[in-house]
Amino acid sequence: MSLHKLSFVLIGSLLIGSTAIAQSDAYIVEFKDKPASVDAAAVLSKKSLARRAKFNIPFTTEDQPVYRGYKMAISQIDSTIIRYALKWHNGVVINASKTAISEIAELTFVANIRYVGQAEIPQNIEQPKFITPVVKLKESAIRTDNLVPEDYGKAYSQNKQIQITDLHQNGYNGKGVTIAVFDAGFNAIDKIPSFLKHQANGLLTFGFDIAGLDNVLNIKDNHGTAVTSCIGSYHKGEYIGSAPLAHLILFRTEYAATEYPIEELNWCKAAELADSAGVDIISSSLGYNQYDDKSLSYTHKDLDGETSYSSKAARVASQKGIIVLNSAGNSGDNQWRKIGTPSDAAAVLTIGAADKNGKPGKFSSQGYNALGTVKPDIAAMGVLASVASPSGSYYRGYGTSYSTPIAAGGVACLVQAFTETHPDTIKRAIRITASQSMTPDSFLGYGVAQLNTAADLLLLKKQGAVLPKIMSTTQNFVNVYTGNTNIIEYQVFQHRKFLLLFNIKKKVAEGENKSNMGFYRINLSDSPLKCSKRYTIKIYLTSNVDTYELKSSELYNCLN
């Protein structure tokens, strides 16, 4: 079931404009080969080409469009409508009668035909226009420097939990980063206060409605409006999202009333369009496992990151240099229980839902994937998260649909901060700095994201820092940059003055382990640091070469 539908059940969102629309059988027709026909500049934007050049990503046959001659041959068969082509799957998605399918199967260049469910019969197929609405305002500045908690309004807690507020204070707010949002519709998104300044600054773009095959995205459904607000909303004093200066491109891929694999293929088409447009990040609060036609549904063993249509597209998008975030799902407390797809793809950052205390939401879908890859990867707030409604007000809801865009905005801040860093390196830093990275599980994966800590690690790596240092401390753990050391032996001591005269040293932790990417988190849960300004922290860190005495750069703050 698509994740947005589950969110409707949980938060009571309303579907709009429900009128009967004629449907017919839909299929994907895959071809045996793909004759090369164009160069990269003919199908990719300058921004997409720049991303490939920056990360040395080649233009391959996969990037070539589906061969025009094959599409023409299919289109000439009676009772056949080509909805769109999929270059990464080398095929076309069509509405067709069974008689037409029999004729198509006889074509020598056809490799495979699969039924993908019922789909609305398009009356008029439009070409993507990518419309950027414009609003003129007397004051249109979007600023995130020197924000105080009151400025974030209802979004403060969810931003602070994953250290978004720290990233904003450090000057990172998503500026220059492009995020594609996939959802079921974006009702009134261009009308509400959250996005007026975005339109004044050209930061909100309607990509394409792949489900309806038109360029109208600001109707159909409320869910996408709520989801997108988590990233981009800028309504100072009421609600500020996690990356308010990111450029948002919206894509509709879902039919709210039905559930068939064609919606996965719509997702795939959106990913291709997003790649061609040059996006840096895809944020998808959608997922698939069970369909209206049960014969088309997945089993748990299918969720290996390699079987489904959407997991293949997510994997390819990642290979093209895009960071893909997808919600884990809201099935943790029902019979299915597990994640869906494309959250099963190893390259995807799969996002679970946590409450304000960092505990997993009961509904948050569980991992791992069928191959044993840790899923979800990380978590953000999805229990009573604040979101915007098409009325312009804000409310609290439940769902990994919300934790995903909250996290996506934070990832955009990291991409802004480290423009030359490979996306895989950024994802790895996010995983290993999350709250339970040393002991991942199937509920929160590596834990609640700690994105400013990830930024600190990436900066130290970028600077080529060799010597270890304490990065930060809380009552329950110490984040250590281990430099060039791999295997470390550590002892943690608290030091205090007794009667202001005598030094007293107490060992609170010790151990031996391997560092990962120059990072190690020392867990103090068995002996948490006492909250007193008389205490300092010293770590004696021993590698196979040297011993270092690390002293905390600042005392443990009682407010942590």
Pick 236 or 16 by higher pLDDT: 236
In a domain, 412, yes or no: yes
pLDDT score recorded for residue 556:
44
| Residue 230: C-alpha distances to residues 239, 285, 426 (Å) | 9, 12, 21
Is the same domain home to 339 and 480?
no
| pLDDT at position 50 over 50 | yes
Structural domain ending residue among the three candidates 455, 488, 510: 455
Bridge partners (DSSP) of residue 470 are 480
| pLDDT at position 103 over 50 | yes
Euclidean distance between CA atoms 9 and 7, whole angstroms: 5
In a domain, 68, yes or no: yes
Pick 514 or 161 by higher pLDDT: 161
Q: Measured in whole angstroms, how far is the alpha carbon of residue 467 from the centre of its chain?
A: 33
**Do residues 162 and 406 lie in contact, with contact meaning Cβ atoms separated by under 8 Å?**
yes
Mean pLDDT of 539-545: 70
CATH number for position 412: 3.40.50.200
**Do residues 339 and 365 lie in contact, with contact meaning Cβ atoms separated by under 8 Å?**
yes
Which of 237-246, 301-310, 503-512 has the weakest average pLDDT? 503-512
In a domain, 142, yes or no: no
Euclidean distance between CA atoms 188 and 385, whole angstroms: 20
What is the pairing mode between strands 178-183 and 110-120?
unpaired
| pLDDT at position 350 over 50 | yes
3-state SS assignment for residue 499 = coil
pLDDT score recorded for residue 555:
42
Q: How confident is the model at residue 182 (pLDDT cuts 50, 70, 90)?
A: very high
pLDDT score recorded for residue 20:
45
In a domain, 560, yes or no: no
Euclidean distance between CA atoms 235 and 434, whole angstroms: 29
Continuous segment of H or E residues that includes residue 25? strand 23-31
**Do residues 155 and 240 lie in contact, with contact meaning Cβ atoms separated by under 8 Å?**
yes
Is the same domain home to 98 and 245?
no
| pLDDT at position 273 over 80 | yes
Is the same domain home to 376 and 503?
no
| pLDDT at position 294 over 90 | yes
In a domain, 154, yes or no: yes
Give residue-wise pLDDT tens across range 134-152.
999 999 999 999 999 999 9
Task: Determine the structural domain holding residue 478 and report its residue range.
Answer: 465-551
| pLDDT at position 6 over 70 | no
What is the pairing mode between strands 349-354 and 323-327?
parallel
Is the same domain home to 181 and 299?
yes
Is the same domain home to 388 and 253?
yes
List CB contacts of 317: < 8 A, sequence separation 6 or more: 271, 274, 275, 282, 324
Bridge partners (DSSP) of residue 96 are 80
| pLDDT at position 469 over 90 | no
pLDDT score recorded for residue 1:
42
Pick 344 or 471 by higher pLDDT: 344
| pLDDT at position 281 over 50 | yes
| pLDDT at position 274 over 70 | yes
In a domain, 129, yes or no: no
pLDDT score recorded for residue 437:
94
Is the same domain home to 102 and 154?
no
Quick one: what percent of the chain has pLDDT higher than 70? 92
Q: How confident is the model at residue 486 (pLDDT cuts 50, 70, 90)?
A: confident
Is the same domain home to 110 and 224?
no
Quote the DSSP letter at residue 308. Answer: S
Mean pLDDT of 523-541: 70
3-state SS assignment for residue 30 = strand
CATH number for position 48: 3.30.70
**Do residues 350 and 314 lie in contact, with contact meaning Cβ atoms separated by under 8 Å?**
no
79 token code pair? 């009772």
Is the same domain home to 390 and 276?
yes
**Do residues 279 and 270 lie in contact, with contact meaning Cβ atoms separated by under 8 Å?**
no
Euclidean distance between CA atoms 271 and 59, whole angstroms: 16
Euclidean distance between CA atoms 56 and 59, whole angstroms: 10
Of 160, 170, 516, 527, the closest CA to residue 358 belongs to: 160
Tokens 């590596």 sit on residue: 446
Peptide bond into 368 cis (omega under 30): yes
Euclidean distance between CA atoms 285 and 408, whole angstroms: 11
How many independent structural domains does the chain possess? 3
3-state SS assignment for residue 455 = helix
What is the pairing mode between strands 385-388 and 378-381?
unpaired
Is the same domain home to 364 and 470?
no
Bridge partners (DSSP) of residue 489 are 512, 542
Is the same domain home to 429 and 499?
no
pLDDT score recorded for residue 244:
98
Of 191, 280, 181, the closest CA to residue 232 belongs to: 181
pLDDT score recorded for residue 239:
98
Mean pLDDT of 420-433: 98
Is the same domain home to 207 and 297?
yes
Structural domain ending residue among the three candidates 427, 455, 483: 455
Give residue-wise pLDDT tens across range 362-391.
999 999 999 999 999 999 999 999 999 999
Is the same domain home to 444 and 503?
no
Q: How confident is the model at residue 280 (pLDDT cuts 50, 70, 90)?
A: very high
| pLDDT at position 126 over 60 | yes
What is the pairing mode between strands 378-381 and 91-96?
unpaired
Which of 123-127, 195-199, 241-245, 342-346 has the weakest average pLDDT? 123-127
Continuous segment of H or E residues that includes residue 498? strand 487-498
pLDDT score recorded for residue 4:
43
In a domain, 191, yes or no: yes
Structural domain ending residue among the three candidates 99, 120, 141: 120
Euclidean distance between CA atoms 218 and 224, whole angstroms: 9
Mean pLDDT of 268-272: 98
In a domain, 139, yes or no: no
Secondary structure in 3-state letters for 512-540: EEECECCEEEEECCCCCCCCCCCCEEEEE
Q: How confident is the model at residue 543 (pLDDT cuts 50, 70, 90)?
A: low
| pLDDT at position 522 over 80 | yes
Average pLDDT, the chain: 90
Of 48, 223, 217, the closest CA to residue 130 belongs to: 217
